[in-house]
Every structure is written in C-alpha cells, then in structure tokens.
Amino acid sequence: MNESYSEKISRRLWNLPDKGELESRREETFIDDIVQKDHLERQVLKVLDGGVRTAFDGGAGSGRFSILLAKRGVRVTHFDISTPMIERAKELAKEAGVLGNMEFVQGALEDLSAYKDGQFDLVLSFDAPVSYTWPNQKRVIGELARICGKRLLLSVSSRLGMLPYLSNPIQKSQFVLDDGSADPFVRWCIDHRDEMTASFRFDVSAARKFMKDGVMGGEEEIAEYDRGGAPWCITYGFMPGELRGILERLGLRDISMAGPGAFARTVPHEILQKIMGDPRQKRDFLDFCYEYDQEPHVIGMGKDNLFASAER
C-alpha cells in the first residue's frame, strides 16, 4: 500500500467545503462529542498551571482547544490540514477576540520539520489526527514529542473502543442530542437507522482482523479516492499498553491515560437526552464521566478515543 495515501485521503476529506462548519457544531448535535470535549478541556486546563506560554495544536480543526488556550493568554500555533477548518477557526477566534494570540498554519502532521526541538511548552493533538497518519503514526507521535518542551496531550483512535462499531452501524444515533435537529448528519443518522439495521450482517473476520492489526480501512478507501471520491481516512486504532509503551520509549514520564466516553456509551439514548436536558444532571453526569473514564480498567473502551498525557 502506498504510504502517501494516508495524507492524500486526509487532505481531500477534511478539505470538503462544509467540514469547518460541521465540525464546529459537533457539541451542539451529539452527546458523545459533549462528553469527549468536556473531558479533554478539563485535561487541558489542568496542565496550564505549569507555566504554559506557548502551545502547538496539531489537527486543531475549527479551534475548539486552540481558541480555549488563546483565551487564557497562551500563544498558540493552530496547525491543520484543512483550509475550511482553518478559515472557520479564524472566524471563531475573531469572535472571541484572540486572533492576536494565534498563528494559523496549514500542513500535515507527517511533516513537522519546520519546528525546533522543545519549541512549545504544550503540544496537543486531539480527536485522532495521529491515527489518520497510518502507517506513520509512531513517527508522528515521535515528532510531536520532539517539539514538546513540557507536556504532551494526545487523543488517538482506540482499538478496543472502535471494535463495537463493527457490530453497531447505528451507534451514532444513540448520541443524537435533539431528534428534531436540522443538522444534515443528524438527519442522515435518524433517516437511515432502519435501513442500516435491516442490511447489517456481523462480519467476525473483519472484527478479528481489526483486533489483530488495528487498521480500519484500506483498499476500498484507496479505490474510492482514485475514483475522485472523499472516503473516510484509513485509521489506526491503538491499544492502551501500546500507546503507553511508545511514550515511555520516547523518554516521557508522568503518563496518565483515559477513555473519554466509556461510561456514556453504556447509557441508553433516551436517558442521555434526559440528562443533557437538565443543567444540574448534565453537570453531575459530566463530572462522573470524567472520574469513571480515567479508571484503568475502562480506558480502552472510550467512545472513540484513547487519551494520554505525558511530561517531557
């Protein structure tokens, strides 16, 4: 398989014209995104007391965390492969009054050669862009660690967390915040639920393959790309011990891990919506999710991502 496909597919997918707007609305439409982003925000805020003045956000998207950091006086390099994402992030940064604290750079995580060793106090890469660099994911983590001066925060695709997707084609429907939403992806999930259920057939060989090698996608995505389409990225799912081992071999210490969404994925759709509709229940639920999702026994079962924090 041509290694350049990981970057080419990612570039085409994330440069679709609507990506910036769609990604900026995820917490308004899906409960799993609320839970995950809340967990990651708490982790970011927790490390700011350590004298963080500069930060690199790799795969920064529409600015969910780069803008958060800029609001707290951190000088942030917002790095992303997508022009629509960067343009949307600039709009949101302007609305937040923090454009002066941010530099916007379009690029791929596969090439961070423009940055010096230890250049940034804080390096973060959330929502699995590292996993989309397969088969270069280990080298990319090494590069993120190289430019990190104090603290590295990562969330990558979780192999154990993603495996249930292979037996649940309607899993995203569980997390729809408002069934009456006009958001195109929400409508697609609801409108295709019965069709996806009726056509589903469990493929044990696919499940066993992903459990073994961690690679979701491949030849079909490459063929679709070559036809001119914009397939989902070929994705590498990490095991918890694997990610910890990579960070340890890079000389990082004080490693902690979590599986954001591990608790929320056990709660039925109707109950999740009820909880999110009550501000007090929502606050208590997110507090408990943050605690539960850091328990060592469940970190591999995060809804989408495996989170790791490590110190240089």
CATH number at residue 230: 3.40.50.150
Q: How far apart (Å, rounded) are the C-alpha atoms in residues 123 and 136?
A: 18
183 lies in some domain:
no
182 lies in some domain:
no
- DSSP collapsed to 3 states, the chain: CCCCHHHHHHHHHHCCCCHHHHHHCHHHHEHHHHHHHHHHHHHHHHHHHHCCCEEEEECCCCCCCHHHHHHCCCEEEEEECCHHHHHHHHHHHHHHCCHHHEEEEECCCCCCCCCCCCCEEEEEECCCCHHHHCCCHHHHHHHHHHCEEEEEEEEEEEHHHHHHHHHCCCHHHHHECCCCCCCHHHHHHHHCHHHHHHHCCCCHHHHHHHHHHCEECCHHHHHHHHCCCCCCCCEECECHHHHHHHHHHCCCEEEEEECCCCCHHHCCHHHHHHHHCCHHHHHHHHHHHHHHCCCCCCHHHCCCEEEEEEEC
At residue 269, the pLDDT reads 96
Q: How far apart (Å, rounded) are the C-alpha atoms in residues 157 and 141?
A: 13
Q: How far apart (Å, rounded) are the C-alpha atoms in residues 293 and 289?
A: 6
User: pLDDT of the chain along its 312 residues, tens only?
Assistant: 455 898 999 999 999 998 888 888 888 999 999 999 999 999 999 999 868 999 999 999 999 999 999 999 999 999 999 999 999 999 999 999 999 999 999 999 999 999 999 999 999 999 999 999 999 999 999 999 999 999 999 999 999 999 998 899 999 999 999 999 999 889 999 999 999 999 999 999 999 999 999 999 999 999 999 999 999 999 999 999 999 999 999 999 999 999 999 999 999 999 999 999 999 999 999 999 999 999 999 999 998 899 999 999
**Owning domain of residue 141:** 5-162+204-311
244 lies in some domain:
yes
Within 13 Å, how many C-alpha atoms sit on residue 161's CB side? 32
At residue 3, the pLDDT reads 54
At residue 118, the pLDDT reads 98
At residue 1, the pLDDT reads 46
At residue 165, the pLDDT reads 87
Residues 6+ apart with CB under 8 A from 272: 31, 174, 175, 264
pTM: 0.94
Q: How many domains does the chain have?
A: 1
85 lies in some domain:
yes
269 lies in some domain:
yes
Smallest CA-to-CA distance from 234 within 259, 213, 204 is with 213
152 lies in some domain:
yes
The CA–CA distances, whole Å, from 162 to 140, 167, 304 equal 21, 10, 6
